[in-house]
């Protein structure tokens, strides 16, 4: 094997191993990764977790927006029969509303997610059933 190829392969391997190592450091101390939990998993957890990512639907009528500061909001996300309370401060995506699919990331403490990230998925309106159709 040529010297130049050997050294290139060596460098490649080293960085690949380094990358794999970085992503495999334990979740709690790793600034690069965040673990995804299901709502069911979290609703039975007692201990607080510094970084979580959770996906679910917004429980209808659970959105409470602070009157004096509209950037402050709390709501419940649900999946099946499990639900969790989420607190968020900041600008909300346009598609944020009842039954919207959201992904939140933040800290989990005392059955509450203090979210620093709030994302909505595409509105069901464009992908799902036809709603404004009339039956004969």
Partner 1 sequence: MISQIGSLALSISGGLILSNFFFLFYYAIKKDKTFLNVSERGLIAVCFCVILATLCLLNELLISNFNLQYVSQYTSYETPLFFKVTALWAGQAGSLLFWTFIMSIYSLIYIHVTLKKMPILKYSSYIILSFIFGFFLLLSNFIANPFQPVSSDIIVQNGNGLNPLLQNVTMAIHPPTLYLGFIGTTILFVMALSGLISKSLNFEWIQSIRRWSLIVWTFLSGGIILGGYWAYNELGWGGYWAWDPVENSSLMPWLILTAFIHSSMIQEKRGMLKSWNILLAASTFLLVILGTFITRSGIVSSVHSFTAENLGPLFLAFLSSLILFTGYWFVKRFDTLKSDNKIDSFTSREGGFLYNNLILLLMCFIVLWGTLFPILSEAWNGEKIYVGATYFNQLNVPIGLVLLFLMGVGPLLSWKTTSRHTLLSNFKIPMLMSFFSGVIYSIFFGPFQLYPLVTCMGIAFTITSIMNEFRKSYKKSKSNSKSIPSAIVSMLFSNRHKNGGYIVHIGITLLFVGFIGRAFEVEKEFNLSPGEEIYFANYIFKLNSIKSEARDNHYAFISDIDVIDQSNNLLTSLRPEKRIYFYWNPDPEQRQPHSELDIYSTMRKDIYSIFSAYDAEKNQGYFKIMINPLVNWVWVGGIVMVLGSLFSFWPSKRRNHGII
Q: What's the DSSP call for residue 27?
A: G
Among 31, 46, 47, 61, binds partner 1 (CB under 8 A): 31
Distance, C-alpha 54 to centroid of its chain: 4
Is residue 133 at the binding interface for partner 1, with CB under 8 A as the rule?
yes
Do 89 and 71 meet the contact criterion of CB atoms below 8 Å apart? yes
Using CB under 8 A, which of 21, 28, 29, 32 touches partner 1? Answer: 32
Write down the least CB distance from residue 129 to partner 1, Å.
9
Q: Supply 92's token pair.
A: 């909300």
Of 85 and 89, the one with the shorter C-beta distance to partner 1 is 89
Q: Is the Cβ–Cβ distance between 82 and 102 less than 8 Å?
A: no
The separation between the first and the last C-alpha atoms of the chain, rounded to the nearest angstrom, is: 76
Site for partner 1 contains 25 (CB under 8 A): no
Cβ-Cβ contacts under 8 Å for 12 (sequence gap 6 or more): none
User: What are the structure tokens assigned to 123, written together?
Assistant: 């509105």
**Residue list 48-107, contact with partner 1 (CB under 8 A):** 53, 55, 69-71, 90-92, 94-95, 97-99, 103
Residues that bind partner 1 (CB under 8 A): 2, 4-5, 8, 11-12, 15-16, 19-20, 22-23, 27, 31-36, 53, 55, 69-71, 90-92, 94-95, 97-99, 103, 119, 121-123, 125-128, 130-136
């Amino acid at each position: 094997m040529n010297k130049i190829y050997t050294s290139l392969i060596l460098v490649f391997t080293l960085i690949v191993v380094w990358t794999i190592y970085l992503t495999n450091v334990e979740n709690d101390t790793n600034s690069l990764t965040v673990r995804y939990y299901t709502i069911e998993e979290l609703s039975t957890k007692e201990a607080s977790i510094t970084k979580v990512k959770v996906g679910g639907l917004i429980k209808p009528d659970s959105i409470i927006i602070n009157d004096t500061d509209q950037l402050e909001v709390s709501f419940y996300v649900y999946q099946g029969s499990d639900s969790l309370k989420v607190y968020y401060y900041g600008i909300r995506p346009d598609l944020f509303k009842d039954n919207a699919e959201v992904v939140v990331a933040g800290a989990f403490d005392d059955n509450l997610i203090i979210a620093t990230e709030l994302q909505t998925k595409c509105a069901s309106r464009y992908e799902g059933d036809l709603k404004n159709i009339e039956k004969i």
